[in-house]
Amino acid sequence: MTLPASLDEAVAALAAMPAAVPVAGGTDLMAAVNRGLLRPAGLVGLGRINEIRGWQYQDGHALLGAGLTHARMGRPDFAALIPALAAAARAAGPPQIRNAGTLGGNIASAAPTGDALPVLAALEATLVIAGQDGARREIPVSHLLAGRDMLAPAELIGYVRVPLLHAPQVFLKATGRTGPGRATASVAVVLDPARRGVRCAVGAIAPMPLRPLEAERWIASLIDWDGERAALAPEALGAFGEYVAAACIPDPEPPADGSPPPPLSPAVLHLRRTVAALARRALGRALS
Ligand SMILES: Cc1cc2nc3c(=O)[nH]c(=O)nc-3n(C[C@H](O)[C@H](O)[C@H](O)COP(=O)(O)OP(=O)(O)OC[C@H]3O[C@@H](n4cnc5c(N)ncnc54)[C@H](O)[C@@H]3O)c2cc1C
């Protein structure tokens, strides 16, 4: 295994060994190797690259290193900066996974159950991609997750740029069991008072996080942004939950013959109720 000391060295190592793959915490990659799904011809370890293990402030944004571990993001100083991402990091698996697993690995794996992903979607975060000869390009995180903008073979996620909104934000996750586990559904809600916006993303129920844009706009129009405390009636919170859930898990299309659409299966109905409850609670907490 090659252990470069900088992002550019890591990119150069990958360019020199096209069959090698990058490994950060190894929690996803080694699981795939152990299950016989992957046999990399070489590994480029990212664990010694100090420049991507922390974060810095830049023009109202936080520039997060891809090597930040979930454990580091879960600490109080990070939670004061980006509370929803810290909450997602604290929920990302058992302690040994959170100690090793990284933000960059969570994004590059792009698993539907990646806890950081709905938060980054709601925050409209962007990725700084490092390429050969010091090249850097920036893309919305949603483009990578949607497969619209794939990483080239010798490219790495270097940093994640997140706007600092200085407003409440909440991440909630349902696992279908007690204790740590993969999400069956998750919801991130972010308030953006400067733009009078509510942004919401639902994770785990589709290949990538879903943004219920109409529900976001509708609920934002009900909030008294100039009031001393932005608050909403419980009925409005409930309606927001239903709106989000129906947008993300729509009713089946009616058949072409004009007969009524088939009902949702009990499992899908349960998932829809879970999403509605998570969205209602997340917005309620953000506004409380
Ligand atoms: C038992 C268990 C429980 C888990 N529970 C959860 C959970 O509850 N929530 C959750 O979100 N995740 C969970 N995970 C998944 C995993 O911990 C996370 O996805 C983690 O963030 C992956 O990071 P890593 O550094 O270990 O990635 P690695 O395993 O090192 O890499 C994963 C993939 O990303 C690529 N990669 C890594 N870093 C970069 C980079 N900077 N640029 C480009 N490509 C890169 C690698 O080549 C590889 O393809 C769990 C995993 C296990 C094994």
- The reported pLDDT for the residue numbered 176 is 81
Mean pLDDT of 217-242: 90
Burial class of residue 96 (count of CB atoms within 10 Å of its CB; 0-12, 13-18, 19+): exposed
pLDDT digits (tens, 9 = 90+) for 8-42: 999 999 999 999 999 999 999 999 999 999 999 99
Distance from the alpha carbon of residue 167 to the mean position of ligand 1, in angstroms: 28
Q: Is 66 in the pocket of ligand 1 (CB under 6 A)?
A: yes
Q: CB-hemisphere CA count at 13 Å for 281?
A: 12
- The reported pLDDT for the residue numbered 24 is 98
- The reported pLDDT for the residue numbered 107 is 98
- Predicted structure pTM score: 0.96
Question: What percent of the chain clears pLDDT 90, i.e. is strictly above it?
Answer: 87
- Give the phi and the psi of residue 200 in degrees, each rounded to 5: -135, 140
Q: b/e map of 56-72 (b: 16 or more CB within 10 Å)?
A: eeeeebbbbbbbbbbbb
Q: Is 93 in the pocket of ligand 1 (CB under 6 A)?
A: yes
- The reported pLDDT for the residue numbered 126 is 98
Mean pLDDT of 194-200: 96
> 236 in helix, strand or coil?
helix
Q: What does the mean pLDDT of the chain come to?
A: 95
**What pLDDT band is residue 215 in, cutting at 50, 70 and 90?**
very high
Quick one: CA dihedral 267, 269, 275, 277, positive or negative?
negative
Using most ligand atoms within 8 A of CB, pick from 1, 6, 7, 29 the residue to mutate for ligand 1.
29
First to last CA, the chain: 50
Distance from the alpha carbon of residue 236 to the mean position of ligand 1, in angstroms: 37
Number of H helices, E strands in the chain: 12, 10
- The reported pLDDT for the residue numbered 226 is 87
pLDDT digits (tens, 9 = 90+) for 112-126: 999 999 999 999 999
- The reported pLDDT for the residue numbered 180 is 73
Distance from the alpha carbon of residue 106 to the mean position of ligand 1, in angstroms: 4
**What pLDDT band is residue 231 in, cutting at 50, 70 and 90?**
confident
Instruction: Enumerate domains of the chain plus CATH numbers.
Output: 1-31+38-288 (3.30.465.10)
pLDDT digits (tens, 9 = 90+) for 96-110: 999 999 999 999 999
